[in-house]
């Protein structure tokens, strides 16, 4: 998936597994748990090689006990509740818990193991239990409510006022005002959801890793780029398959090129059907899990006074209601569906066979070559992963004045991880640590995401605590003869996740819960998506796109072809995204009682019928592997946020285009009002401060070529 962000949560489950750095052994009586002391490393990077699986549960329990003591001190404070002794004290509490949970959950899907799965359920269950206990503490809530009710008389700054209001509203959303009986019910629901998310993710990872297509007939490889063939041979060797075998999996670097280039139609069909039936039947069937999740969410929403889970999910973000999100999606979907019909008609002219869903990408590529003389495999030669990485570093330096220096000896959780010191280009001030982990492995889930091992904040002495941010991806691996060469979609993904990274690295928020990506969910994609525009800007391409063999800068002719083809296949791309977002909202508005059940695939078909979805198009994610929606609460009834934020990013980038994409004043304004501000102000106010006006949805439609400029 091109655009995916996983936000690490401190006290809620949403991950499939944990990771293991060392053999799980009983700790020595003389050995100190490294999670329970300050990290004696540069910039306090976690000492990954010293951490054992047996360290996590003792650390979690100690961290919970410490925060319990901090909460007790807040509750027993004899002074009248105010911002400092209640809201700020609560925001600053749980530092150890935050550190342990970020470390534990942060890499849970990058280095899965059977040992870590055994620990996962206990870890998340106990973390969730404490989160519920704290959220529903009546004495703590009484102090929070007192500050909230008197906030206007406290002469608070805007960030302080926003922190008060968010703290109060979050407490209410987590059950603080429920009766004791209803609180017990909510705790049981949350515990149930924790278990269900773990099960969904475990099924998905296992089903993904189990699928493989082995080929020995080289004629079936026709049309595939040589790099893809080489990677398939290496994948077969890793599985100890006989020499001369080629293995194709459902991981993006294997699956997507087959659908785009393989002349063997049956191979395309096998891969497509393997992917779209993922975790849909058999021992890894996620259908029953989805039913149980929907039932639990229905009960949770009703307990908290909402008509359905989608209403609960959207109430505290920019959209406010599911209908507001659906209204935007309908505008985009209508335009995209019309364009899909035009695209299919064009592609159908290339073949006598009826275009099927597994043919779409193949004939779209044929059409792109025919109309624009643009071969994506030719483009890949200019996008070696190291060159693209230097491109995002150059972008960050030019726009925001920061440098990236590799720290080769820094601790790493995997040998392929790279670590960088991020500094101010003028003063040399340390700003952040940045890590990346870009290649697929069986222990890592699909997709790409950003998270942190340590968030930014200002300590009690007024000193900024620098964050530790990381990006994870699943790009094509290098082979014995070629470096990792990225598709243009991969390039945009790298820029996208790096944009999230900049949001985390450059933040200057004073309070922990307002730093970096701690913003409304439908605002969080703005920094990531706006930076995708630089990926294909001619001025930027000239600075980083170099042929991996010759060092030649990407020629003007190829840039012109790339620009000309910029709107190619946008009906399909936009349609699969918008339809998936609408499917998500339909799931969120479905209420299931305890004894009810729904056939997941029948439900999807009913949504497709409502949308009048073209037969050649499919949801970007089918429900059994729609991890955004059923792998956690993170993006549930919130997948629309990618398009919601795209209204902002396309409208905002038009300002850069008007003034110059590297205009210092515009970049400084974006840095100040968006990247540095975090969640310290209402997101629409921040956007207007940067843009000078409210955004317009037409910018999105223009950017995707769905209406004329």
Contacts of 149 (CB under 8 A, 6+ apart): none
CB 691 within 8 A of CB 526: no
Overall average pLDDT of the 264-275 stretch = 97
**pLDDT score for 686:** 97
Contacts of 421 (CB under 8 A, 6+ apart): 43, 404, 405, 406, 407, 430, 433
**445 three-class SS:** coil
Give CATH for domain 34-205: 1.10.1370.40
Give the whole-angstrom CA distance, residue 199 versus residue 16: 7
Give the whole-angstrom CA distance, residue 339 versus residue 569: 8
Query: Which class would CATH give 385-564+642-703?
Result: mainly alpha
Whether 456 has a pLDDT exceeding 60, the answer reads yes
Spacing of C-alpha 499 from chain mean position: 12
Closest CA to 341 of 365, 360, 328: 360
**pLDDT score for 190:** 96
How many C-beta atoms lie closer than 10 Å to residue 146's C-beta? Answer: 14
Whether 634 has a pLDDT exceeding 90, the answer reads no
**150 three-class SS:** coil
Give the whole-angstrom CA distance, residue 3 versus residue 221: 29
Query: What b/e string do you get for 236-272 counting C-beta neighbours within 10 Å, with b at 16 or more?
Result: beeeebeeebbbbbbbbbbbbbbbbbbebeebbbbbb
Overall average pLDDT of the 170-197 stretch = 97
How many C-beta atoms lie closer than 10 Å to residue 428's C-beta? Answer: 8
| Count of all residues that appear for the chain in the document | 709
Overall average pLDDT of the 177-198 stretch = 97
Q: Is the four-CA dihedral 238, 243, 248, 253 of positive or negative sign?
A: positive
Spacing of C-alpha 187 from chain mean position: 27
Q: Residue 162 — very low, low, confident or very high, per pLDDT cuts 50/70/90?
A: very high
CB 361 within 8 A of CB 275: no
DSSP letter for 136, please: T
**pLDDT score for 48:** 95
Backbone angles phi, psi at 563, to 5 degrees: -65, -40
Return the minimum-mean-pLDDT range out of 28-42, 317-331, 346-360, 592-606.
28-42
Contacts of 226 (CB under 8 A, 6+ apart): none
* Range from 104-118, 543-557, 694-708 that averages highest in pLDDT: 543-557
Domain ranges of the chain: 34-205, 211-277, 283-374+571-639, 385-564+642-703
Task: Provide the H-helix boundaries in 283-321.
Answer: 287-303, 309-314
* Six token digits for residue 501: 């990274």
CB 130 within 8 A of CB 65: no
**244 three-class SS:** coil
CA 297, 526, 659 angle in degrees (round to 5)? Answer: 165
**pLDDT score for 29:** 53
**pLDDT score for 28:** 47
Do the strands 418-424 and 457-458 form a parallel or antiparallel pair, or are they unpaired? unpaired
* Six token digits for residue 624: 């059994």
Burial grade of 679 (CB within 10 A; 0-12, 13-18, 19 or more): buried
Overall average pLDDT of the 398-409 stretch = 98
Task: Pick the more confident residue, 353 or 4.
Answer: 353
Closest CA to 334 of 4, 643, 2: 643
CATH architecture of 283-374+571-639: Orthogonal Bundle (1.10)
Give the whole-angstrom CA distance, residue 499 versus residue 552: 27
Whether 107 has a pLDDT exceeding 80, the answer reads no
* Six token digits for residue 606: 């009913």
First-last CA distance in the chain: 28
Instruction: Say what the pTM is.
Output: 0.90
Closest CA to 263 of 346, 371, 349, 353: 353
CB 143 within 8 A of CB 74: yes
**pLDDT score for 417:** 97
Whether 26 has a pLDDT exceeding 80, the answer reads no
Give the whole-angstrom CA distance, residue 294 versus residue 286: 12
Question: What's the mean per-residue pLDDT of the chain?
Answer: 93
Backbone angles phi, psi at 213, to 5 degrees: -110, 120
**pLDDT score for 237:** 95
Burial grade of 541 (CB within 10 A; 0-12, 13-18, 19 or more): buried
* Six token digits for residue 580: 């998936």
Q: Give the chain's radius of gyration (CA, Å).
A: 25
In DSSP terms, 450 is beta-bridged to 471
Q: Quick: pLDDT tens for 62-97.
A: 999 999 999 999 999 999 999 999 999 999 999 999
CB 543 within 8 A of CB 394: yes
Closest CA to 484 of 416, 559, 386: 386
* Six token digits for residue 424: 């101010």
Give the whole-angstrom CA distance, residue 83 versus residue 297: 33
Closest CA to 499 of 527, 521, 526: 527
Q: Quick: pLDDT tens for 109-161.
A: 788 788 888 888 899 999 999 999 999 999 999 999 999 999 999 999 999 99
Concatenating the DSSP letter of every residue in 87-107 gives IIHHHH--HHHHHHHHHHHHT
**pLDDT score for 559:** 97
Give the whole-angstrom CA distance, residue 278 versus residue 209: 10
CB 343 within 8 A of CB 359: no
Note whether 283-374+571-639 and 385-564+642-703 share their fold: yes
Tell the residue number behind the tokens 């009703």, with chain if given: 302
Spacing of C-alpha 110 from chain mean position: 13
Q: Residue 17 — very low, low, confident or very high, per pLDDT cuts 50/70/90?
A: very low
How many C-beta atoms lie closer than 10 Å to residue 593's C-beta? Answer: 9
Contacts of 328 (CB under 8 A, 6+ apart): 640, 643, 644, 647, 697
**pLDDT score for 371:** 94
Q: How many Cα neighbours within 13 Å face the side chain of 173?
A: 14
How many C-beta atoms lie closer than 10 Å to residue 331's C-beta? Answer: 18
CB 474 within 8 A of CB 110: no
CB 297 within 8 A of CB 309: yes
Which residues belong to the active site? 497
């Amino acid at each position: 998936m091109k655009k995916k962000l996983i936000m690490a949560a401190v006290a809620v489950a949403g991950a499939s597994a944990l990771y293991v750095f060392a053999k799980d052994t009983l700790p020595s009586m003389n050995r100190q748990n490294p999670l329970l002391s300050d990290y004696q490393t540069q910039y306090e990077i976690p000492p990954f090689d010293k951490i054992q699986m047996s360290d996590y549960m003792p650390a979690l329990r100690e961290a919970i006990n410490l925060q319990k003591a901090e909460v007790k001190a807040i509750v027993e404070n004899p002074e009248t509740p105010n911002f400092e002794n209640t809201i700020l004290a609560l925001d600053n509490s749980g530092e150890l818990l935050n550190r342990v949970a970020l470390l534990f959950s942060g890499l849970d899907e990058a280095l899965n193991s059977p040992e870590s799965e055994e620990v996962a359920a206990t870890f998340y269950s106990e973390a969730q239990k404490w989160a519920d206990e704290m959220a529903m503490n009546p004495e703590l809530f009484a102090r929070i409510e007192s500050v909230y009710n008197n906030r206007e008389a406290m002469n608070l700054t805007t960030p302080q006022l926003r922190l008060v209001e968010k703290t109060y509203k979050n407490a209410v959303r987590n059950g603080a005002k429920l009766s004791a009986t209803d609180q017990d019910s909510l705790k049981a629901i949350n515990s149930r959801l924790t278990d269900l998310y773990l099960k969904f993710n475990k099924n998905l990872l296992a089903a993904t890793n189990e699928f493989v297509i082995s080929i020995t007939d080289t004629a079936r490889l026709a049309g595939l780029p040589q790099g893809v063939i080489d990677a398939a041979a290496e994948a077969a060797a890793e599985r100890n398959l006989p020499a001369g075998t080629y293995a194709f999996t459902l991981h993006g670097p294997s699956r997507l090129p087959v659908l785009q280039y393989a002349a063997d139609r049956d191979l395309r069909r096998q891969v497509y059907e393997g992917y779209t039936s993922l975790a849909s039947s058999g021992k890894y069937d996620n259908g029953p899990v989805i039913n149980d999740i929907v039932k639990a969410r229905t009960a949770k929403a009703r307990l908290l006074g909402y008509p359905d889970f989608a209403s609960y999910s959207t109430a505290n973000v920019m959209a406010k209601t599911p209908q507001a999100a659906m209204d935007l999606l309908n505008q985009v979907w209508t335009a995209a569906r019309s364009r899909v019909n035009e695209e299919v008609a064009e592609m159908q002219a290339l073949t006598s066979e009826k275009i099927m869903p597994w043919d779409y990408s193949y004939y779209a590529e044929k059409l792109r070559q025919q109309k624009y003389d643009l071969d994506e495999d030719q483009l890949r030669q200019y996008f070696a992963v190291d060159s693209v990485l230097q491109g995002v570093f150059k972008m960050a330096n030019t726009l925001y004045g920061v440098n990236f220096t590799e720290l080769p000896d820094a601790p790493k959780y995997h040998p392929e991880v790279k670590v960088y010191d991020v500094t101010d280009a003028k003063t040399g001030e340390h700003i952040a640590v940045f890590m990346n982990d870009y290649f697929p492995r069986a222990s890592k889930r699909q997709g790409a995401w950003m998270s942190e091992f340590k968030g930014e904040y200002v300590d009690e002495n007024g000193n900024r605590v620098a964050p530790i941010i990381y990006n994870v991806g699943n790009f094509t691996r290098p082979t014995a003869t070629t470096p990792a060469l990225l598709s243009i979609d991969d390039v945009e993904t790298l820029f996208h996740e790096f944009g999230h990274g900049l949001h985390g690295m450059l933040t200057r928020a004073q309070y922990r819960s307002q730093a970096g990506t701690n913003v409304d969910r439908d605002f969080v994609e703005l920094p990531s998506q706006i930076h995708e525009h630089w990926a294909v800007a001619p001025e930027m391409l000239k600075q980083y796109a170099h042929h991996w063999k010759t060092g030649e800068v990407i020629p003007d002719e190829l840039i012109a072809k790339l620009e000309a083809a910029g709107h190619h296949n946008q009906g399909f791309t936009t349609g699969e995204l918008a339809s998936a977002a609408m499917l998500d909202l339909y799931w969120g508005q479905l209420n299931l009682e305890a004894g009810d059940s729904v056939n997941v695939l029948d439900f999807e078909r009913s949504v497709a019928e409502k949308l009048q979805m073209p037969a050649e198009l499919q949801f970007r994610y089918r429900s059994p592997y729609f991890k955004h929606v059923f792998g956690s609460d993170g993006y549930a009834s919130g997948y629309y946020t990618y398009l919601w934020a795209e209204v902002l990013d396309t409208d905002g980038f038009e300002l850069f285009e008007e003034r110059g994409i590297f205009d210092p004043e515009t970049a400084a304004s974006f840095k100040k009002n968006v990247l540095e501000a975090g969640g310290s102000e209402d997101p629409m106010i921040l956007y207007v401060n940067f843009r000078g006006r409210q955004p317009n949805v037409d910018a999105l439609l223009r950017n995707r070529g769905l209406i004329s400029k």
